[in-house]
Amino acid sequence: MTSLQTYTSGLYGAVPTLYFSGAGNQALTWETSKKTDVGFTFGTLQDRLRGDFSYYHNLVDGLILRVPQAPSRGIPAGVPGDVTNVNINSILGNVGSMRNTGIEFNLTYNAIQKKNFSWTVSGNITTLKNRVLTLATEGQRIGTATSGLETANFTEVGRSVGEILVVKSLGVNPANGQRMVRIKNADGTFTTVQYNHQGTPAGTTGWTTLDGVASRAPSQLADSDYYGPTLPKWYGGFDNTFTFKNFDLGIFLQYSGGNYIYNGTKSGLHDQRFWNNDADILDRWTPENTGGSWPRVVFGDNVSNGSGLVMSENVEKGDFVRLRNVSLGYSLNSDLLSKYSIANARVYVQVQNAALLTKYSGIDPEISTNSTGTASNTGAGVDRNSVGQARTFTVGLNIGF
């Protein structure tokens, strides 16, 4: 268990070994939830139209998060890519709380009920508003790294858990092909800076203003803006069931939206460190293509396209509509089956994940690289070389005796 685990396996050279990687906490307990639901159900038209509506308020207490400790306690260092160093000198504890509120609405309608034909349609929608109420320390901002790479998710009081925090990208400078981003000044104003990976003098950052004056490098913590929640604000489904004599047809649509995704795969596919690139890198800036979508390519540049700098260029909406399931079946005649002592039999074909409608440029908006461990709680909505959901075709036979 994470509460007692203090060692991690690894290799020292080529020799398997264990090393001290964290301090356990025997006092760690399960998170608690206090949920209130208020709602009603209804039916009309002789119950052909049925539904229910509810409002929920869920207070989750004792969130398992990292608690900062004194350096003298000797807690091991953090994880690679964690710009907040939240894991340094920290242990897991029950220290946070958050609130989830929203509505749930379900509706079913028997649209047609004939002897040889029927049609039933149903749908539901759920809304979600998530707010972090407390963390280990006042003003704490917890970052969640993805596979030792970028840290796009941050959790702090007053916001949704694991929101995406990125530096604002202003596109490509058509004059020289350099990436432009916005940094914040002490007086609350903004300055546009550009990045030059080639020929950077020693002791400089490679960042300059548009006038060529040396500038500090953008800081994710100081210069970034939140883009919104990684948790969907609304989601639901729409189901249609048709029957005609012995045939049946089912069509189920799923939808979700209001959330944002950090497309880390997109940043990696435009990294210039001997990494494979997406074909759209051909639309890069050149002296002949000053309106290119991507900065000029310079060997070793992992900043201009976001792999080394978490920027808004890689943030996308996660809205989608998915044709989750389509099935067509035929039930064999009972008179025929009774000769073989079979009560019923149905042959069917089915397609799972038949189609997807989304503006997300990645492989699938319904995935998250941080899907295991504590990162699954605070690191949703990051796509870093994730595998999309497969389309599955099934042919089957159901027999009842």
Is residue 184's pLDDT more than 80? yes
DSSP class of residue 49?
A: E
CA angle 298, 299, 302 (to 5 degrees): 85
Is residue 1's pLDDT more than 70? no
Which pLDDT belongs to residue 14?
A: 82
Which pLDDT belongs to residue 306?
A: 76
Helices (H), 200-276: 220-223, 264-268
Nearest 5°: phi and psi at 136?
-65, -45
Residue 263 tokens, joined: 């497309």
Is residue 362's pLDDT more than 50? yes
Sequence length of the chain is: 401
Which pLDDT belongs to residue 80?
A: 41
Residue 367 belongs to some domain of the structure: yes
Residue 263 belongs to some domain of the structure: yes
Which pLDDT belongs to residue 87?
A: 57
Residue 44 belongs to some domain of the structure: yes
Could you read off the pLDDT of 88-136 as tens digits, one per residue? 677 888 888 999 999 999 999 999 999 999 999 999 999 999 999 998 8
Q: In what order do the strands lie in the sheet with 260-263?
A: 315-317, 260-263, 382-383
Which pLDDT belongs to residue 84?
A: 46
Cα 342 to Cα 400: distance, rounded to the nearest angstrom:
6
Which pLDDT belongs to residue 77?
A: 58
Could you read off the pLDDT of 30-65 as tens digits, one per residue? 989 999 999 999 999 999 999 999 999 999 998 887
Residue 224 belongs to some domain of the structure: no
Domains in the chain, number? 1
Residue 124 belongs to some domain of the structure: yes
Residue 384, domain extent = 32-66+88-162+229-270+305-400
Residue 22 belongs to some domain of the structure: no
Mean pLDDT of the chain: 88
Residue 205 belongs to some domain of the structure: no
Residue 394 tokens, joined: 């099934």
- CA-CA distances (angstroms) from residue 331 to 248, 249, 265, 344, 345? 8, 12, 46, 7, 6
Which pLDDT belongs to residue 81?
A: 40
Residue 149 belongs to some domain of the structure: yes
Using the CB atoms, write b or e for 177-206: b if 16+ within 10 Å.
bbbbbbbbeeeeeeeebbbbbeeeeeeebb
CA angle 318, 231, 180 (to 5 degrees): 55
pTM of the entire predicted model: 0.86
